[in-house]
Amino acid sequence: MKSFLRTNNVSILWSCMLVIATVVLNVTSASGQIRRQPFSSLTKPEQKRLWKSRVERANRVLKGIDESKTKDWAINVLETAVTEDSSALAMNSLGIAYLQGNGVKADSIRAVSWFERAGQHGYAYAYYHLGALYRFAMYGVEQNFKKAYDYFSLGAEKGSTDCMYVKGMMLYKGTGCHQNYTEAFQCFKDASEKRHRPSLYMIGLCYRNGYGVGTDSDLATEYLYRSAMLGYRDAKEELERPNPENYLENLYTDGNIPDEMPQISPTVNDTSLIAGCYHGYLATYDWSGKYLIGEKPMSMIVRKKGAEVTGQMVLGTDTVPFTANLTEDNRLDFMSGSLKMNDRYTTSGAVKYRLTNVLYDVWNEKIRGRLNLYSLSQKEPERPMFFELKRDGMQTLLQQDNKNNIAIMPNPFEKSFTINLELQESSPVKVRIFNVNGIMVWQQDYGQQNSGACQLIVNPAIKPGRYVLNIMAGIQIFHSLVVKEGGAQ
């Protein structure tokens, strides 16, 4: 009896050890190490876990995190995972490898093919890679906003938060699709449910400006605060700004500048008017073209020789030389010319833009139209810009400045300064001051002034800093830099 018990205990002990060994072998297999049992004996979920583990290890090898295997081994694992398991993760990884030339020869066409296969097999983020390729013209892929928008839309449908956000931004700006704040807002709302910081920020902007939703300062502050608390710097900066971006619509009430971006129908009554010296203004609108968000003085000298046009453009105090071709459909296509401008949402310095073209029409000694710029940092067209300039004749800017000389005393100033100028004719006079971002911060009408010597006393309630002074007096436009010192008023 005792012998039987001893024998039975030994059998039980060996059985327990076999069970433990079997479990260990299964765990070891699932971890991606050498299997001690046939792969076919694993369940389908276990096989999936094993392939995922192998693909993840291959990715670590390609990233240089795991140096125990070669990149050739990693590529082979990814290709086998695709063949044996239809692994969408492996397809996406192969797309990245071909895009970067990591372990294989760089090939953007094959990369696009792998990303498309990954997306079709359920890997939503592959559509983000595809969208980014065409949105930002990366790795030699030609920029195509329409394709980018379509890919981001597919990724958004499959649940990619980043795709939801970028799709919303493209709708917000109208790049590759129709411009629609309401649809953009919904994309941001969908992404914000996953605590996506940029989307929370954009919802705050929409509520603050009334873009796609009713204006609500309380909700704007709530969403901006939530984004800021998650560490999003842009949200913190927006909370510190005193006004929304479209606050100017309540300041410009004299009708000189259109409330909305005008539709330009190029009709040139006299093509000789293209040559000359022009002075006026440049107005910037929001992405929908319905709200005025900025305005600055603008001058342009145009010299024409056949279809070739040369000259210089002055925006505020920045002078931009350019060369362009005059097309049959009344468009100036710039061949050279770039400028830097400060942007409300860019704190790391001025944004550099490339002059793209001008769509214009000329009548009554005036030239008006749309100035199209392309942001070299964001790789996208800039907001709608409308200009209206009056022709002064074929004279240089220096000659124009001599005619429109002004004296400002003192400059820099603390509280007020005096302007002395010479008026060619009796006319109403308006003084406006713009900050470095092209935003008007102060204005005052001085009523009808007689021709000849004119003196104006200006006492602007502005913060210390550098500003552009702009004076409109009938056919004359004066501009100068002014600097305020001391405390804010």
Asked if residue 290 lies in contact with residue 260, where contact means CB atoms within 8 angstroms, the answer is: yes
Q: Strand order in 427-434's β-sheet? A: 440-449, 427-434, 465-473, 476-484
- Average pLDDT score over residue span 353-374: 85
CA dihedral 229, 231, 236, 237 (to 10 degrees): -170
Answer yes or no: pTM beyond 0.95: no
Please tell me the distance from the alpha carbon of residue 481 to that of residue 371, in angstroms, as a whole number: 24
Asked if residue 40 lies in contact with residue 55, where contact means CB atoms within 8 angstroms, the answer is: no
Burial of 156 (0-12, 13-18, 19+ CB in 10 A): buried
Asked if residue 276 lies in contact with residue 391, where contact means CB atoms within 8 angstroms, the answer is: yes
What angle in degrees, to the nearest 10, is found between the helix axes of 88-100 and 108-120? 160
Confidence band, pLDDT 50/70/90 cuts, at residue 13: very low
Asked if residue 173 lies in contact with residue 380, where contact means CB atoms within 8 angstroms, the answer is: yes
Hunting for tokens 């070891």 — which residue is that?
28
Maximal C-alpha separation, the chain: 132
Closest CA to 106 of 80, 138, 82: 138
Please give the pLDDT value at position 308.
Answer: 85
Please tell me the distance from the alpha carbon of residue 319 to that of residue 421, in angstroms, as a whole number: 23
Q: Among the listed ranges 111-115, 257-261, 414-418, which one has the minimum average pLDDT value?
A: 257-261
Confidence band, pLDDT 50/70/90 cuts, at residue 487: low
Please give the pLDDT value at position 395.
Answer: 46
Phi first, then psi, for residue 136 (nearest 5°) are -110, 10
Length of the chain equals 489
The CA-atom distances, in angstroms, between 120 and each of 81, 87, 418 are: 16, 11, 69
Please give the pLDDT value at position 26.
Answer: 44
Please give the pLDDT value at position 391.
Answer: 81
**Mean pLDDT, all residues of the chain:** 84
- Average pLDDT score over residue span 37-66: 87
Phi first, then psi, for residue 191 (nearest 5°) are -70, -30
Please tell me the distance from the alpha carbon of residue 187 to that of residue 31, in angstroms, as a whole number: 39
Please give the pLDDT value at position 489.
Answer: 44
Asked if residue 100 lies in contact with residue 74, where contact means CB atoms within 8 angstroms, the answer is: no
pLDDT digits (tens, 9 = 90+) for 187-244: 999 999 999 999 999 999 999 999 999 999 999 999 999 999 999 999 999 999 989 9
